[in-house]
Structure 1
Amino acid sequence: MKRKYFLLTLFVFGFTAGIIAQPVSEDLPQITGCIALINAKVISAPGKPMQVETIIMRDGLITDIGPRAKIPSDAYRIQADSLYAYPAFIDAFSSIGVKNPESDAPRGGPQGGPGNRDRNNTRPSVDEEGNPSLEDAGITPFRSVRPSVDIKEKSIADWRGQGFAIAHIVPKGKMIPGKGSLIVLSGKETGQLFWKEDVSMFAQWSGAGDNYPSTVIGIMAKWRELYHNASQDLVQQTSYTNATLVPRPHYNQAHEALLPVVKRDMPVYFRAPKVKDISRALALQKDLGMKMVISDAEEAWYLKDQFKTGTIPLVLSLALPEDKSENKKDKAEAKAEAKEKNDEAKAEKKDTVNTDPEKEEFEKKRAQSLKEHYAQASVLAKDGIPFSFGTLSGKSSDFTKNIRLMMDNGLTNDQVLSALTSQPAKLLGIEKNCGTIDIGKMANVIVSTKPIFEKDAAIRYMIVEGNLYAYDEKEKKKVQGKESHSASTPSSLAGTWSYTIDIPDQKKEGTMEFIEKDGSLTGTIHSSDITSGNNELESIVLDVDAVAFTFDFEIEGQLMVIEFNVKLKGESFDGSVTIADVGSFSITGQRMSKPKN
């Protein structure tokens, strides 16, 4: 029992003591061990029928699969009779785990020389021809993404929790931020993340601010200059190697880094969200002849005919525009009013409403634009245009919602699964290693409670290169109470509250802050003991005087969910805090302050 209390202290407040060394339990094998997923409903690849099979995984690889697969004696067994198994997702274009660049820090020149600012650090220094340094111009093709990756970045765990095992990540920056790499979303050290380095070049229509190039025209001109100069350098290097009496080539860091692009050995992932961005990128590709992948596309359906040949691969953005129209809000309000007002009152109100034709037309156009964005993937799929999905502009918290929006607008289960597994595997040249559940491939498997894209599906386990991550099945629980009347409103909870959790032999204290906006509540928890990097409260439900919410965090790959259930008593509350497999403990609190109006 004392051990459970100690675990609660560790888990609730994010301590990373060595006692918690395994993602699921103390006897769970690491990557060198063996896992048996027994009698799962397996969908091994897009378009394949579901079959009840046992999957054997050892040393990070799938070693056997089938209804009669022999289970090794040393296997960690998971009874999966009621669970579904899918190939884990592959992110074709992202910045998972990548830190923001330290733009304000003095930087060295491209050759590692002195900083590139003047003495007063007020403007970039320039060369004899008036050109800023490559770094100030946002041209850093020589940079690899590895130095920018932080194993502690929350995005790694967040996207893994959404089903992703592999990601193609790129550095952050301006015109040419640098080279992308493939990572595996598992490991305790940064080096363990990396699988294949410097596999791509990342470019975008992002100007250098006050420096050149700062406009789209300037960026296109600079690309042509760099590409042609790199091509000339390649010719001169070849001549120097194969002929005599040829002067030694001069070294240029940017040109040297672009040689694989000129040779067409390295693709350029060009970020082009809008239709104009895509059109300009395609024009640049046609002019220079580089291998290009249009990435983070949000409006590719406008130019779908140009993608039908399949010569230019396409990565669609997983970010979708939010419906912020007044109609959506009006519908919600009307639904609430319908419960309280009779038909006569509503009819009277309707007669007095003044309509604005211009506003109505604007709302129609907005609704049409939203539908086109939501239907982008299905429109391309119907025309047989292959595509992958990328998370660069998306949020992990919106992933499931956005996938379902696309499916509501015509995208099928198999098309979604293909864009998240086999298609990005082919694009990235790793189809022999992952993208499907087959013998010899990497042990990257999603285990879900229902078919993965169904509304109430939840991920129960993630297996990433043989490492097992367990997730508590979360359901939003509504506190029992009267539905028609509420003694408390979101504003009654808003403010800062102190709390005390009673654990035998000790107390844990901190504060919680709730913010009310447009009838919705968000919250954060704060304590000197919390070191996990996450303090967001989730699933906040207020009913009568009862409040329920959860707090999520991860330690050594294990997601823990703390459930709070409290009852408001004016300026105080009391209730319980529960964590699965550990116990339930009492919590009390007092209001410290209310929001300032």
Structure 2
Amino acid sequence: MKKTLLKAGVLGLLVAGWFSTNSLYAQSDPTGKKPVTSTYAITNATVITAPGASGTKATVLIKDGVIQGVGSNLNIPSEAQVIAGDSLFIYPGFIDGGSDAGITAPKDPERPKDFVSANPPDEIAGITPWRSAVDQYAADDKSVEDFRKAGFTVAQILPDGGMIAGKAAVVVFGSEYSTNVLKTNTALVSSFRGARGMYPGTAVGVMAKFRDIYQNTKLSQGRSNQYQTASGVVRPEFNPTYQAMMEVINGQTPVMYTAPSELEVRRALSLQKELGFKLILTGLNDYANVIDVIKAANVPVLISLEIPDDKAIKAQKEEVDEATKAQYSRVQEAYDNAIKQAGLLEEAGVPFAFTTKGTKSGDVMKALSSMIEHGLSEEGALAALTTNAANVLGMSRVAGTIEKGKMANLVITTDQLFAEDSQIKHVVVDGYIFDFDTKPKKKASNGDAEGAAKVAGNWDYETESPAGSSGGTFEIIQDGSSYTGTITLDNPAGAGKINTDLEDINVNGKNLTFSFNIDAGGDEITINVSGEVEGESYDGTMSVAQFGSFPFTATLNPTLIAIK
């Protein structure tokens, strides 16, 4: 990932004197990394404001982490940094209903000398409702960056633990200068996982223990209330487990039960019906046969984005006997049935969101594409990533769609989100912009195709900036359907010029795009150039991360055509 907080003098690498060394960043910031403005305008992009909405060309205006407006005729403030959104698509930021990104498991407590396996202390048995996911969370963990790169801007993080692991929290995957915590104690994270070598060691034992804790919490609350209001009552003992469960029995905090299988779904629903707590079902993997049960229960649902491995299918051979073919068929059928469950859930009218717990960030789009291929609609997939997840987390007022007044959480892609070659180019989290590398699309025969631009040769370029005009040359060499090149620009270290290689040169019809990198005091800065070739003229824009886009024009010298 390229740094989006650029060091001083970056724009001066292209146009000398644009900004002085200290003027790029807030004067109060001793690190010299915070940008001077929190106002951005992403212009002329195709904006999809919500699932099912048609994309329209518009500008998204952001200030202080809040969307100030979405439209084609917005008044852009003078302090706004303009980011060219031409050819880009903007979607609401993804929301993860249950994430373990950045979560580190706590150390196992030591067993006491008088340990009795039939009646272990709560913490030893995995009963720790007082724990918070925030205490286990590291915002600078690489997994957080990886999931942000996959488009996730908000996540409900889940504590690691046993049958009652603790309380979840909602965080943004945002700036290092923010706490990024939106809300704590959002759910009590529970499972049917028993404790090894002690009670409760089985799923049935876990259910019995949960009932016991729930009912004893009610009794404890009653005694506490009586002690506060009546005289002569013996003071009740403080119990951290019961104290932490109070919000659950009062209906303030839902219980998030991990229920990957049909049986565990039924067990969680049975407990909820018996005791009356608010329930969220999460981690669903095998649920096709209980969709009607889930619908009747009307509880929030988070399905796993971790899909079955297809290696066994890819390893199947063509020339095998009938018995092996039958086995192959059963494997394929099981795989297809697992993948199409999301589509069946949507067809039944059950709104759901996703949990990425146990999922690799690099497999997110693969899993979504597989679900779409097996019946889930693109609108349903986007809803699960945005509006449905916002509903589950109770944050629809501030997230899930692109609207004035909501958090500036956006995913900006090079094509429609679920298109085969689409890539995430920028992610905006709480108004903070993260810029990611994108690989060039597969090149066609470009310059040889009918109507394709001829770009090989030596170009004289000029760019406009707030400080005036500056220019230089760049050369593009064509080798079959591939291109290489160099660009000449002012030396950032002093007088004279330097040369640097062009990268990701791509010609699509009349469109020419390329990028190049510059060493700015030890940081590698990427400059992206895109535009349209008309004959021997090039009219485009030069984008420099958060500092916006500026005109970039060039003229081809026809006497210096460079084709191998």
- The separation in 2 between residues aligned to 1:369 and 1:156, in whole angstroms, is 32
CA RMSD of aligned residues (A): 3.1
Kindly indicate whether the alpha-carbon contact (under 8 Å) linking 1:388 and 1:419 is maintained by their aligned counterparts in 2.
Answer: yes
- The separation in 2 between residues aligned to 1:304 and 1:32, in whole angstroms, is 49
Q: How does 1:274-423 map to 2 (within 5 A)?
A: 274-309=261-296, 311-325=298-312, 327-330=313-316, 355-357=321-323, 359-423=324-388
Kindly indicate whether the alpha-carbon contact (under 8 Å) linking 1:61 and 1:465 is maintained by their aligned counterparts in 2.
Answer: yes
Q: Does 1:204 align with 2:207?
A: no
- The separation in 2 between residues aligned to 1:33 and 1:94, in whole angstroms, is 28
Q: How does 1:78-97 map to 2 (within 5 A)?
A: 78-97=83-102
Distance change (3 Å), C-alpha of 1:21 and 1:177: farther
Kindly indicate whether the alpha-carbon contact (under 8 Å) linking 2:118 and 2:199 is maintained by their aligned counterparts in 1.
Answer: no
1:328 offset after TM fit, Å?
Answer: 2.4
1:32 offset after TM fit, Å?
Answer: 5.7
Q: Does 1:76 align with 2:81?
A: yes
| 1:173 match | 161
Q: Does 1:139 align with 2:127?
A: yes
1:300 offset after TM fit, Å?
Answer: 2.0
| 1:65 match | 70
Q: How does 1:387-536 map to 2 (within 5 A)?
A: 387-475=352-440
Q: In the alignment, residue 470 of structure 1 is paired with which amino acid?
A: D
| 1:488 match | none
Kindly indicate whether the alpha-carbon contact (under 8 Å) linking 1:92 and 1:168 is maintained by their aligned counterparts in 2.
Answer: yes
| 1:53 match | 58
Q: Does 1:221 align with 2:208?
A: yes
Q: How does 1:31-42 map to 2 (within 5 A)?
A: 33-42=38-47
Structure 2 stretches lacking a partner, 5+ long: 1-5, 11-21, 446-522, 527-542, 545-564
- The separation in 1 between residues aligned to 2:170 and 2:134, in whole angstroms, is 10
- The separation in 1 between residues aligned to 2:240 and 2:365, in whole angstroms, is 42
Q: In the alignment, residue 139 of structure 2 is paired with which amino acid?
A: I
1:131 offset after TM fit, Å?
Answer: 1.8
Kindly indicate whether the alpha-carbon contact (under 8 Å) linking 1:36 and 1:75 is maintained by their aligned counterparts in 2.
Answer: yes
Picking from 104, 112, 115, the partner of 1:126 is 115
| 2:250 match | 263
TM-score computed with the length of structure 1 as normaliser:
0.67
Q: In the alignment, residue 145 of structure 2 is paired with which amino acid?
A: A
- The separation in 1 between residues aligned to 2:524 and 2:246, in whole angstroms, is 44
Kindly indicate whether the alpha-carbon contact (under 8 Å) linking 2:41 and 2:82 is maintained by their aligned counterparts in 1.
Answer: yes
1:240 offset after TM fit, Å?
Answer: 2.3
Distance change (3 Å), C-alpha of 1:361 and 1:57: same
Kindly indicate whether the alpha-carbon contact (under 8 Å) linking 1:471 and 1:560 is maintained by their aligned counterparts in 2.
Answer: no
Distance change (3 Å), C-alpha of 1:62 and 1:28: farther
1:475 offset after TM fit, Å?
Answer: 4.1
Helix, strand or coil for the counterpart of 1:82?
Answer: coil
1:94 offset after TM fit, Å?
Answer: 1.1
Distance change (3 Å), C-alpha of 1:30 and 1:262: farther
- The separation in 2 between residues aligned to 1:31 and 1:287, in whole angstroms, is 56
Distance change (3 Å), C-alpha of 1:454 and 1:73: same
Structure 1 stretches lacking a partner, 5+ long: 8-17, 108-114, 119-124, 335-352, 481-557, 562-579, 582-597
- The separation in 2 between residues aligned to 1:354 and 1:253, in whole angstroms, is 62
Kindly indicate whether the alpha-carbon contact (under 8 Å) linking 2:118 and 2:198 is maintained by their aligned counterparts in 1.
Answer: no
1:299 offset after TM fit, Å?
Answer: 1.5
- The separation in 2 between residues aligned to 1:360 and 1:293, in whole angstroms, is 41
Distance change (3 Å), C-alpha of 1:476 and 1:380: same
Helix, strand or coil for the counterpart of 2:232?
Answer: coil
| 1:184 match | 172
- The separation in 1 between residues aligned to 2:33 and 2:175, in whole angstroms, is 15
- The separation in 1 between residues aligned to 2:361 and 2:86, in whole angstroms, is 29
- The separation in 2 between residues aligned to 1:330 and 1:425, in whole angstroms, is 41
State the Cα deviation string for residues 124-177 of structure 1 (Å, max 9, x = none): x426x9522212101100101112111221111000001110000111111111
Q: Does 1:272 align with 2:238?
A: no
1:264 offset after TM fit, Å?
Answer: 1.2
Distance change (3 Å), C-alpha of 1:272 and 1:305: same
State the Cα deviation string for residues 452-497 of structure 1 (Å, max 9, x = none): 111110111111001001112124879x9xxxxxxxxxxxxxxxxx
Helix, strand or coil for the counterpart of 2:46?
Answer: strand
Kindly indicate whether the alpha-carbon contact (under 8 Å) linking 1:31 and 1:465 is maintained by their aligned counterparts in 2.
Answer: no
Q: In the alignment, residue 126 of structure 1 is paired with which amino acid?
A: F
Q: In the alignment, residue 395 of structure 1 is paired with which amino acid?
A: K
Helix, strand or coil for the counterpart of 1:309?
Answer: helix
Helix, strand or coil for the counterpart of 1:308?
Answer: helix
- The separation in 1 between residues aligned to 2:118 and 2:240, in whole angstroms, is 19
- The separation in 1 between residues aligned to 2:118 and 2:295, in whole angstroms, is 44
1:21 offset after TM fit, Å?
Answer: 8.9
| 1:244 match | 231
State the Cα deviation string for residues 327-384 of structure 1 (Å, max 9, x = none): 52246xx6xxxxxxxxxxxxxxxxxx56142x33332222111111111111010111
Kindly indicate whether the alpha-carbon contact (under 8 Å) linking 1:203 and 1:269 is maintained by their aligned counterparts in 2.
Answer: yes
1:444 offset after TM fit, Å?
Answer: 0.3
1:83 offset after TM fit, Å?
Answer: 0.7
Q: In the alignment, residue 445 of structure 1 is paired with which amino acid?
A: L
- The separation in 2 between residues aligned to 1:365 and 1:242, in whole angstroms, is 66
Picking from 180, 186, 194, the partner of 2:181 is 194
Helix, strand or coil for the counterpart of 1:174?
Answer: coil
Distance change (3 Å), C-alpha of 1:21 and 1:375: farther
1:211 offset after TM fit, Å?
Answer: 1.9
Helix, strand or coil for the counterpart of 1:202?
Answer: strand
Q: In the alignment, residue 233 of structure 1 is paired with which amino acid?
A: S
Matched pairs, number: 431
Distance change (3 Å), C-alpha of 1:73 and 1:29: farther
Helix, strand or coil for the counterpart of 2:296?
Answer: coil
State the Cα deviation string for residues 550-581 of structure 1 (Å, max 9, x = none): xxxxxxxx9999xxxxxxxxxxxxxxxxxx99
- The separation in 2 between residues aligned to 1:31 and 1:465, in whole angstroms, is 16
1:72 offset after TM fit, Å?
Answer: 0.8
- The separation in 2 between residues aligned to 1:413 and 1:301, in whole angstroms, is 20
Helix, strand or coil for the counterpart of 1:210?
Answer: coil
Kindly indicate whether the alpha-carbon contact (under 8 Å) linking 2:158 and 2:167 is maintained by their aligned counterparts in 1.
Answer: yes
TM-score computed with the length of structure 2 as normaliser:
0.71
- The separation in 2 between residues aligned to 1:559 and 1:317, in whole angstroms, is 37
